[in-house]
A and B are shown apart, each in its own frame.
With several copies, the nearest count.
Chain A
Amino acid sequence: MIDVLYFAWVRERIGLPRERVATTAATVAGLVAELSAREDRYALAFSDLTALRVAVDQELTTFDAPLAGVREVAFFPPMTGG
């Protein structure tokens, strides 16, 4: 089980801030494919991966990052802090 977190408009489109997900995906991209297959709101949120960023265990990474041993994956748009 992995904690999957959503922020900003990703959170709004999917309709929840976090959930526990049982997955057999090997990579973040595999997890995205599983989630997108669930329901339209997921498919919509993940429709353009170039508009998204991903963090694995709170470190920014890329969609080909492996999920082995991972506890937490977060999806969000590009940051706008400062």
Chain B
Amino acid sequence: MLRVQPDPFDPGMEANAFAARAAGAGAIVTFTGIVRDTDARLAAMEIEHYPGMTERAIAAMMDQARSRWSLTDALVIHRHGRLAVGETIMMVATAAPHRAHAFAAAAFLMDYLKSRAPFWKKEMGVAGTSWVAAKDDDEDALKRW
């Protein structure tokens, strides 16, 4: 399941609903990304996206994850728009018979979401706004898959 939305969501409730749907899975891995204020200078974050391409790109990643690992289910929820510090940006969940598959698929989806899904983060700080720069680390992370 895939949702791209401006509205907040409850990650625990989503994880429980996902687990209830994922019949036959012994292992569920979730990742949750949260707006973090590293040095107390961030007021909010604005996430821009490319409607249409976002959904296509994430659906393609999920298909790839399903083809590479034995998953009984997968979930991606990603917000866009304005988010306050401490708010949940996105979550990924994977369900599999075996834990190694659930872990690998969740890490794969995260690495691809970071660098290949059309989202752009802008930090609204106390000293102005700035676009978050892509990290070489994130690009490098794709090489392992």
Chains A and B touch (C-beta atoms under 8 A apart): yes
The chain A residues found within 8 Å of chain B, CB to CB, are 5, 7-9, 11, 55, 58-60, 74, 76-82
The chain B residues found within 8 Å of chain A, CB to CB, are 33, 47-50, 52-53, 56-57, 78, 89-90, 99, 110, 113-122, 131-134, 139
CA distance A46 to B133 in the complex (A): 17
On whether the beta carbons of B115 and A58 are closer than 8 Å, the reply is no
Instruction: Name 8 A/B residue pairs within 8 A (Cβ), A-sorted.
Output: A7-B48, A7-B120, A58-B50, A76-B120, A79-B114, A79-B120, A82-B33, A82-B113
**A79 and B53 contact, Cβ closer than 8 Å, known pairs A8-B131, A9-B131:** no
On whether the beta carbons of B118 and A82 are closer than 8 Å, the reply is no
CA distance A74 to B51 in the complex (A): 12
A81: chain B residues within 8 A (beta carbon): 47, 49, 78, 90, 113-115, 117-121
**A77 and B116 contact, Cβ closer than 8 Å, known pairs A7-B50, A9-B131, A82-B99:** no
On whether the beta carbons of A8 and B120 are closer than 8 Å, the reply is yes
On whether the beta carbons of B110 and A80 are closer than 8 Å, the reply is no
A58: chain B residues within 8 A (beta carbon): 50, 52-53, 56-57
CB-based nearest A residue for B92: A82
B89: chain A residues within 8 A (beta carbon): 82
B132: chain A residues within 8 A (beta carbon): 80
On whether the beta carbons of B90 and A8 are closer than 8 Å, the reply is no
A8: chain B residues within 8 A (beta carbon): 48, 120, 122, 131
On whether the beta carbons of B53 and A80 are closer than 8 Å, the reply is no
B56: chain A residues within 8 A (beta carbon): 58-59
Q: Which of B33, B50, B116 contacts A5 (CB 8 A)?
A: B50
CA distance A11 to B139 in the complex (A): 23
Q: Which of A5, A11, A79 contacts B115 (CB 8 A)?
A: A79
